[in-house]
Amino acid sequence: LSKNSIENYSYDIKKLISYLEENDIKTSPLTITHEVLKQFIYSISKAINPRSQARLISGLRNFFDYLIFENYRETNPLDLIESPKIGRKLPDTLSVEDIDNLINTIDLSYQYNGINLGERNRAIIETLYSCGLRVSELIELKISDLFFEEGFIKVTGKGDKQRFVPIGETTQKFINIWRGIRNHIDVQAHSKDILFLNYKGNKLTRAMIFTIIRKLVEKSGLKKTVSPHTFRHSFATHLLENGADLRAIQMMLGHESITTTEIYMHLDRSHLSDVLNKFHPRK
């Protein structure tokens, strides 16, 4: 599992332990009953959305399956507890105009400690959008992963699976501008090959990417909720709207199953009509 998955699942177990302690319930994961778990899930359902509830229940169910496997328990107290129905959430997207406005809002002269971070921020946004990267893939992107002569970057995604994603000349240009600036940073030993750095020469955190985008959205006056993943959704949606093949989009996004990619078909049904009109003999 990825570091983030491990942290999330561990956090869910700690939430359960905290609930038992706060309510002075004398039990443990080895002896906890179905009724106590039902009360715990009911108590947190007021604070988290159905999707988070479903993840928590799934994580705890797997935890108790592990205890059974290791002979600590004989039954899983979550077997009779159902996950909430969460449906299929359509991702938020930005228009091409929205993205252009956000990028034009970036102050390219912005410096901190003598390092031009404005150019870095432009390269970050352009890379997120033009390559459809997850935020974890962006912060781990290495200089040795850039194959600009071939027009590709190598991306390490979930489960350490690698894929090659095309990268356009415009994005290459902005990355190269940043690389010229990066050469003047005293890079820390553990980040020598990392592309995007802070002014101290360390790898950027996920939280820093969210902060960069949040400040940019506020400055631009855009009245939408935007995260790093919004650029990934926009990447896929704009490709689909312009006639790209769903299988090609799946490969570029690094989706294990094409059913995950199919969610973008719901965003622009006019694309389906265009395909029918263009390719069906009875159009």
Confidence of residue 55 (pLDDT cuts 50, 70, 90): confident
Q: What is the pLDDT of residue 201?
A: 95
Please tell me whether residues 118 and 192 are part of one structural domain. Answer: yes
For the chain, the average pLDDT equals: 88
**Domain range enclosing 42:** 3-69
SS3 164: strand
List, for residues 231-242, the tens digit of each pLDDT value: 999 998 898 888
Catalytically annotated residues: 134, 158, 229, 232, 255, 264
Instruction: Looking at the structure, tell me whether residues 232 and 110 fall in a common domain.
Output: yes
What is the tens place of the pLDDT at every residue in 58-92?
A: 889 989 999 999 999 999 998 888 777 665 566 67
Same structural domain, 33 and 111: no
Within 8 A by CB and 6+ apart from 56, the residues are: 12, 15, 41, 44, 48
Domain CATH for 210:
1.10.443.10
How confident is the model at residue 274, as a pLDDT?
Answer: 64
In DSSP terms, which residues pair with 203 in a beta bridge?
197
In a domain, 83, yes or no: no
Cα–Cα distance measured from residue 138 to residue 195, given in angstroms and rounded to the nearest whole number = 9
CA distance 217 to 149: 33
pLDDT(270) > 80:
no
> Does the residue 85 lie in any domain?
no
pLDDT of 143 higher than 80:
yes
114 and 208 in a single domain? The answer is yes
Q: Is the pLDDT of residue 184 over 80?
A: yes
Residues with Cβ within 8 Å of residue 89, at least 6 apart in sequence? 51
pLDDT confidence of residue 273: 62
On whether both 51 and 105 belong to a single domain, the answer is no
Q: Answer for the pair 59, 8: CB distance below 8 angstroms, yes or no.
A: yes
- Give CA–CA dist 223/62, Å, rounded: 40
Provide the pLDDT confidence category of residue 267 given band limits of 50, 70 and 90: low
Specify if 189 maps to a domain: yes
Q: Are residues 112 and 195 in the same domain?
A: yes
- In tens, the pLDDT along 97-131 reads 999 999 999 999 999 988 999 999 999 999 999 99
The answer, yes or no, to whether residue 255 has pLDDT greater than 60, is yes
With respect to residue 188, please indicate whether it lies within any of the assigned structural domains.
yes
Distance CA 10, CA 14 (A): 6
- Does 256 reside within a domain? yes
Domain count across the chain: 2
CA-to-CA distance for 17 and 108, rounded, in angstroms?
48
